Amino acid sequence: MRWTRAVLLLHVIRLARRAPRDVSTRWDRYWADIRDTGDHGDVLWDASTSDEAQRYLDLLAEYADPTLPVVDVGCGNGRFTRRIATRFDHTVGVDLSPHAVARAVRETPPGPRRVEYRNADMTEPGAGARLAAELGACTVFVRGVLHVMPAPQRRALAANLRDLVGARGTLLLAETNHPGPLLGYLENLGAGPRGLPPPLARAIAAGLPRPRPCGDAEIDDAFPPTDWVRVFTDADARIATVLQPGGGTGTIAGHVAVLRPHGDGPR
């Protein structure tokens, strides 16, 4: 290992040593401590770039049934939920963290369309069926959630999303997919032997789950082709972040896919 990476590794170990054990507590403490969001804020993935959001709106316009509610799973502070709500009559953001949900509510001004937020662990058995019982079949949007889950959790989330899309829904996934080792990923976000940019240091100190690759193989594992049809894939997508080496907002390698359940009949 190069000395620069060894020093970076020491920074990471020092930062992460006080993190709580339980992952949902980690996410909630992280959100509880956030002071500012947006391009100059504390949240690593909360860049305000409208290009990325516009891309998702275009994909939803092309592939999703416009009459269905849209559920933004792992909505965080609701940046994308709000953007989706500019096009759909009913949008629901769902997050594991009560503090994320409270922040999303605070950041969402009243508007002409129905936007609401819920607190739920979407890997819990039955979470998808419970939402579907209330909302019916939904379009589902997921950004930046699967890549921080190990495979069994991704599969549990996928099973719930299958229940939530029902027969008519569509699923849009947007995940970072950084190849190679974690330290390279951190360097890509501006970390080095002198330390880590504050939003990255904050995420590591909170003990947020480490990012994992999330490309074709991981998506096929969680959403097997026997159950899902992939109708769109962009393996060279870019996902916005508030960091890049030298400062300013940037992007990292990502993977975007649109899926539909098999056997959904005429649309």
* Chain residues 78-117 in contact with ligand SAM, contact rule CB under 6 A: 79-80, 94-97, 100
- C-alpha to C-alpha distance for 172 and 222, rounded to whole angstroms: 14
**What residues form DSSP beta bridges with 142?**
73, 173
DSSP state of 221: H
159 interacts with ligand SAM by CB under 6 A? no
What is the closest distance, in whole angstroms, from the C-beta atom of residue 244 to ligand SAM in the complex? 17
What is the closest distance, in whole angstroms, from the C-beta atom of residue 193 to ligand SAM in the complex? 26
228 interacts with ligand SAM by CB under 6 A? no
76 interacts with ligand SAM by CB under 6 A? yes
122 interacts with ligand SAM by CB under 6 A? yes
Site string for ligand SAM, 19-58 (x = CB under 6 A): --------x-----------------xx------------
Which residue type is seen at 224?
Answer: P
Sheet architecture: strand order including 139-143:
114-119, 90-95, 70-73, 139-143, 171-176, 250-261, 228-241
DSSP state of 195: B
Closest CA to 203 of 232, 227, 182: 182
* Chain residues 123-152 in contact with ligand SAM, contact rule CB under 6 A: 123, 143-145
What is the closest distance, in whole angstroms, from the C-beta atom of residue 56 to ligand SAM in the complex? 10
What is the closest distance, in whole angstroms, from the C-beta atom of residue 201 to ligand SAM in the complex? 16
**Region for 104 from its dihedrals, namely left if φ exceeds 0, alpha if ψ lies in -120 to 50, beta otherwise:** alpha
Q: Which residues bind ligand SAM (CB under 6 A)?
A: 27, 45-46, 74-76, 79-80, 94-97, 100, 121-123, 143-145
